[in-house]
Structure 1
């Protein structure tokens, strides 16, 4: 660790502290996570769930582990440095985020999740604090609770911060899967639009109560498995019809509301996977056909009927650079060559230069057709006719892994000016959280972020 200068502590978690540091040799700024627990062998370090998952994943939307250093029984993770997280971005903000900003960030996060789920892991602790951001780039971080999708149950009952915990986990199911990440994404997405948590429960029972008040209570038709789980706990769901999400989140478009409602479905089977979410109409403007190719296709394209969208051309659009996939980080769990051991063992795993086999990057073409893909003339490829159609389909699918900056254009929907961020509009209070014993429950004004447990 003598190669690094620790500049400032930027985070203090349950398992470790995070510092901003500078590499003395290169001048590069990095984030170093110093684990609080002591580790007495290199093998013990290499068997950590966080280490295993990070070594197997290499994607532009997943924070990069640069080095793993074990020195004097202390383990250090050296990550690329990101400026802040989404919670810090929201915390004292007065003005709501634009839908274009939210679309950009979530398009990147869903790409990272699709890659992660495709390679056999799910995160289990998605929350604004674990989505790191620098300018227009957002990355998934903190894989301490990550789990292999094909690992044997039972799983840990407690996962994720309560406000983003899926209902099957709240009801102590031992058979949950990657769809718990999708529930969390729906809750985070709603919070990004309003700057207020969607389900701010103060305990497990209150969390379920808040969920029922917003999306309506589950039924035998909508989630029979959940009613069986509740019956096993001798728990009875409060009976609420749910509210109109469009009135709770007035700044969100119809497509955004539809995606949030789908992600926050009681039944995990009804939630879209990450690859399916990327094909939702909310992200349709993110798929871009280069102008050169578009102009070549003009002569071969059949004009669309009046009143339908007949082109993917975006006014004032620009081409976003494609992020190249790097080589897969080594997934071999064998220890590096032994080094001379002095007082206090020292081992280092260089995650950047480590030799490894290539891994196939995630491709949306490997996933079956999504139920969210627009049909007819609204489809990204349905407007293309003639001999070039197959080429455009390939281009469109390959662009699913592109990263880009926030784009401002006339396609942004205009909304009435909102109240001060976090404020509610003039609708009656009962529209948001339902009724208990004849009294309407008002949403709390202040929230404590320390809600784990």
Structure 2
């Protein structure tokens, strides 16, 4: 939707700006500045080296459970913080998890919602492979449980390097889910059957949960956690704060946000042999800093350089695929942020 912003207050009313300004957590990316230049609106975020998908795409061997445990524990802490403050993300996927050294942060709050906001919500949220079944079935009422489903799918992908539910359309996505965890019934998810009936969809009859077979090389604790996160019924999925107490995270210590060291305190040059970072030095600059709607100008802001560039999505080698929008999806991409005139103000010193 095309519109202009005539005041700083209008810019601050954007959903992503509002949500980011209200959150201060070491595992949530910080919004440093908002700029309007040449009718383009910019979000200047804190610097991160790459996103999780960039780390996965060239790997041959899956990440170790220790690495996955470290990353997921941080993200679940961020989600617990976020959910407790009345927001849920709605667009969790590897591209929205930014990594620097061994620190991972949640980013891109363009689809974030307040838990207290009034439904109905838009049906299209998140990339299809990480989309919860209640959203696939066009429910207009959902909550933070959609984030839990997405994290289950992401966690499985980190442990196997294969997407758990790589559907090519919404119907195929539901079929892929049924193939792994079995079809829902009146006992497991009666509300889901009602949603399916409303849109005249009939679930395939597939019995039995095959998750343990799909993830045969993964520990039983990890399979148990992913199984609970990827429950058909959103009411049966654990809360983020509950996940932190799961046996998979035994030995992980929660450090309160004010005490935990910041990513900026870590060494700038990682050891060459670090298993997580062995590809990071060859990563392109695209994706290393989060900048939305960059135009053909260069603007320097307190040692932060924003340059002209076009985001490209690298084609991953088989068998690793990349989630995306399909023609069969009900709704397209979210409306882009409309252009406006120059306005800049520091948000974080």
RMSD (Å) for aligned C-alpha atoms: 2.5
Q: Is the 8 Å Cα contact of residues 119 and 141 (structure 2) preserved in structure 1? A: yes
Q: Distance in 1 between matches of 2:322 and 2:41?
A: 31
Partner residue, 1:65: 31
Q: Is the 8 Å Cα contact of residues 168 and 176 (structure 1) preserved in structure 2? A: yes
Partner residue, 1:76: 42
Partner residue, 1:240: 206
Partner residue, 2:82: 116
Q: 1:451 aligns with which of 325, 332, 349?
A: 325
Q: Is the 8 Å Cα contact of residues 38 and 75 (structure 1) preserved in structure 2? A: no
Q: 2:8 aligns with which of 17, 31, 42?
A: 42
Deviation at 1:44, TM superposition (A): 2.4
Partner residue, 1:52: 18
Deviation at 1:288, TM superposition (A): 8.1
* Matched ranges for 1:137-216 at <5 A: 137-216=103-182
Deviation at 1:243, TM superposition (A): 4.0
Deviation at 1:450, TM superposition (A): 2.8
Q: Distance in 1 between matches of 2:143 and 2:173?
A: 20
Q: What are the superposed Cα offsets for residues 202-236 of structure 1, whole Å, 9 maximum, x if unpaired?
A: 10100001101100000100000000001111111
Gaps of 5+ in 2: 263-300, 303-315, 330-349
Partner residue, 2:239: 273
Q: Distance in 1 between matches of 2:78 and 2:3?
A: 29
Q: Is the 8 Å Cα contact of residues 39 and 73 (structure 1) preserved in structure 2? A: no
Change (3 A) 1:446 1:81: closer
Gaps of 5+ in 1: 1-14, 16-35, 290-320, 326-348, 351-421, 423-443
Q: Is the 8 Å Cα contact of residues 212 and 242 (structure 1) preserved in structure 2? A: no
Q: Which has the higher contact order (CA 8 A, sep 6+)?
A: 2
Q: Is the 8 Å Cα contact of residues 80 and 241 (structure 2) preserved in structure 1? A: yes
Q: Is the 8 Å Cα contact of residues 37 and 74 (structure 1) preserved in structure 2? A: no
Q: Is the 8 Å Cα contact of residues 220 and 227 (structure 1) preserved in structure 2? A: yes
Partner residue, 2:340: none
Deviation at 1:42, TM superposition (A): 2.4
> Larger C-alpha radius of gyration, 1 or 2?
1
Q: What are the superposed Cα offsets for residues 243-262 of structure 1, whole Å, 9 maximum, x if unpaired?
A: 43222112321110000000
Q: Distance in 2 between matches of 1:195 and 1:40?
A: 46
Q: What are the superposed Cα offsets for residues 348-379 of structure 1, whole Å, 9 maximum, x if unpaired?
A: x99xxxxxxxxxxxxxxxxxxxxxxxxxxxxx
Deviation at 1:96, TM superposition (A): 1.4
Report the TM-score when normalising by structure 2: 0.74
* Matched ranges for 1:384-423 at <5 A: none
Match of 2:251, SS? helix
Q: Distance in 2 between matches of 1:288 and 1:74?
A: 40
Deviation at 1:192, TM superposition (A): 0.4
Deviation at 1:66, TM superposition (A): 1.3
Report the TM-score when normalising by structure 1: 0.57
Q: Distance in 2 between matches of 1:448 and 1:72?
A: 33
Number of equivalences: 273
